[in-house]
Copies of this chain bind each other. A is one copy, B any other.
C-alpha cells in the first residue's frame, strides 16, 4: 500500500508531461500552461487509492486517474470563463491570458483527451468506467448550472444547496474512488460503499471550506478570507443563518447584502456567531465525516488496507475538538 505522497509522486511522473501535440500552438499551449499551474491532484490519487484498496495498482488505474485530472481541469477552465475569474492558484486563468474563445476550445480538447486515456484501458472494465465517468461529468455540469441559477434566485433551501454542492464537487471525488475500485475488480456493494465514502467526505470538506472562507485564519487559509460573504455567495453558513436568524437579524443580513458596507464581513460574521452558525457548521462537518468513516468501515476488505484512505480523510478534514 502506498501513502498519498508516494502516489502523488508516481502520478506526477505520468502526468507532468505534454498531453497535447505541438501544433496548433495557439490551441494546445494554453492547455499545457494550465496543467502546469498545479493543484493538489486529490481526485486522481483517490482513483489510485480506490484501486489499491482492492488490487495491486495497475496502469489502467493510472490512465483513468489521468483522465479524471484532465476532466477536472477542463471544468476549471470552462468554469473560470463562466465566473469571469481572472486568477486560479495565483496564476492567470486561461481566458484571461489567451481569450475566451481559446479557453473554450482548449477546454473542449482537454475533455476529448480525457477520453483518449480512458480508451487505453483493458476491455474488461471500459464500459463500466465510461458509464460512471459520463454520468459524473454530466452531474458536474448540472451542479455548475444550478449554482449559476442560484445567483438569480432569491430563496435557496438547505436541501437545494446540498444537492447543488453534491453535484458540483462531491460526485467527482466519489466517482474517482469508485472508478479505481471498478478497475480493481470490486463488487457492487463495495463500489457503493467507497462511492458514499467519497460523497460524504466531499460534503464534510465543502462545509469546512465554507467555514474557513468565513472564519479561517488568513495566514493559513491561503485564499481571500471573507470572499464568499463579500460576493453574497450562498454557502452552508449563509443558508443556515437565514434559517435560524430572528426577523431582525434577517433584515440586517439583507441590508448588508444589498448595501455592501466596508465592514460587511465583520458585521456578517457577528451575526453568524450570534446565530451559532460556526458551531453548527463544525457539527455538520463532523456528522458527514462520521458517515464517511462508517462507509469506509462497511467495505469488505481487511482494515489494514483502509489505513491510507482513513489517513487521507483525517488530513483533509481538520477536527476542532
Identify the A interface with B (CB < 8 A). 23-24, 26-27, 78, 81-82, 101-102, 104-105, 107-109, 111-113, 115-116, 118-119, 123, 126-127, 130-131, 134, 137-138, 141-142, 144-146, 148-149
Which B residues are in CB contact (< 8 Å) with A146? 24, 26
- Stoichiometry, copies per complex: 2
Complex contact B82–A105 (CB within 8 A): yes
| Cβ contacts A to B, 6 pairs, < 8 Å | A26-B146, A78-B105, A78-B108, A102-B148, A112-B141, A119-B134
Chain B proximity of A132: nearest CB distance (Å): 11
Complex contact A134–B105 (CB within 8 A): no
Which B residues are in CB contact (< 8 Å) with A134? 112-113, 115-116, 119
Complex contact A104–B104 (CB within 8 A): yes
Which B residues are in CB contact (< 8 Å) with A102? 145, 148
Complex contact A119–B112 (CB within 8 A): no
Q: A23 to B23, alpha carbons, bound, how many Å?
A: 39
Chain B proximity of A13: nearest CB distance (Å): 24
Cβ-defined partner of A126 (8 Å) among B26, B82, B123, B144:
B123
Cβ-defined partner of A149 (8 Å) among B26, B104, B130, B145:
B26
Q: A119 to B132, alpha carbons, bound, how many Å?
A: 11
Chain B proximity of A272: nearest CB distance (Å): 29
Which B residues are in CB contact (< 8 Å) with A101? 81-82, 148
Q: A111 to B113, alpha carbons, bound, how many Å?
A: 13
Which B residues are in CB contact (< 8 Å) with A78? 104-105, 108
Chain B proximity of A21: nearest CB distance (Å): 8
Which B residues are in CB contact (< 8 Å) with A148? 26, 101-102
Closest 6 CB pairs of A and B: A27-B145, A82-B101, A119-B130, A112-B137, A109-B141, A105-B141
Complex contact A24–B115 (CB within 8 A): no
Known contacts: A126-B123, A141-B27, A145-B24. The answer to whether A104 contacts B82 by CB under 8 A is yes
Which B residues are in CB contact (< 8 Å) with A105? 78, 82, 141, 144-145
